[in-house]
Structure 1
């Protein structure tokens, strides 16, 4: 029980490949809550915060926060509702993710691929909902 709780509260170690079945989304670059426990912050990209701002020092895309969040939900699966704290509930296929280490706090920074829509991080940039964050992009290649 304690090791399962630690997996939920701790970032997945860098380099580890893991499965994420998405259940909730906050904004356009995460977090994405996974049925398996981790919370993902998409690596190498930046989207607007839900209040419409961009954090100092972060790339700032033109797309609104709501457009970015909704695009991420659509890439992951189907919107099924809104949680009591404002998270968008989503159901979709399991993603295959590779950890980039800590995404701040208890989040895992990760590169994720959906069997339905491909590389999620790249799709967010291609759609204009997020910008590449060169500092964290680390030579990632989009298919």
Structure 2
């Protein structure tokens, strides 16, 4: 039923909560129980077909490795649905919108319950790359 809900774009600079339910790949979209579908801001992962778009950084890690790293940060896999999305029982994220990421996706800077920045956490997995063109996040340690 969640897959049928229309996702709305969260206005730029607005804060919101995202309880992840589904993950597509290493930079999103992540489906939130609250409605938005987020693209994790400031990072780039390979597409699920293994390709990289010509205008973005291209990490060495596979799309599956990046997706699985994100799934682990979201509390682990709980199954999959026919579209290929991985079902997660996600931890509640605190997010700030960066505005539209195209389609029905909101670009978002999110924090894990530990307070760690999600974009930085994904960079630390070495499965995604920082996308300098869109990086407006913290200095990752």
Q: TM (normalized to structure 2)?
A: 0.92
Give the secondary-structure state (helix, strand or coil) at the position aligned to 2:82: coil
Gaps (5+ residues) in structure 2?
Answer: none
**Structure with more of its chain in helix, by fraction:** 1
In the aligned structure 2, how far is the partner of 1:113 from the partner of 1:62?
Answer: 25
Q: 2:105 aligns with which of 104, 107, 110?
A: 107
- Aligned length in residues: 137
RMSD: 1.5
The DSSP-based 3-state class of the residue aligned with 2:134 is: helix
SS in 1 for 2:87: strand
1:96 to 94, 97, 100: 94
- The match for 1:130 is 128
Structure 1 segments of 4+ aligned residues over 2 angstroms from their partners: 138-143
Q: C-alpha deviations, 1:83-105, integer Å up to 9, x for none?
A: 12110000022100100000111
CA contact (8 A) 1:40 1:107 kept: yes
1:31, 1:39 within 8 Å by CA — same for their partners in 2? yes
Corresponding residue of 1:80: 78
Question: Unpaired runs of 5+ in structure 1?
Answer: none
How far does residue 139 in structure 1 lie from its aligned partner after superposition? Answer: 5.1
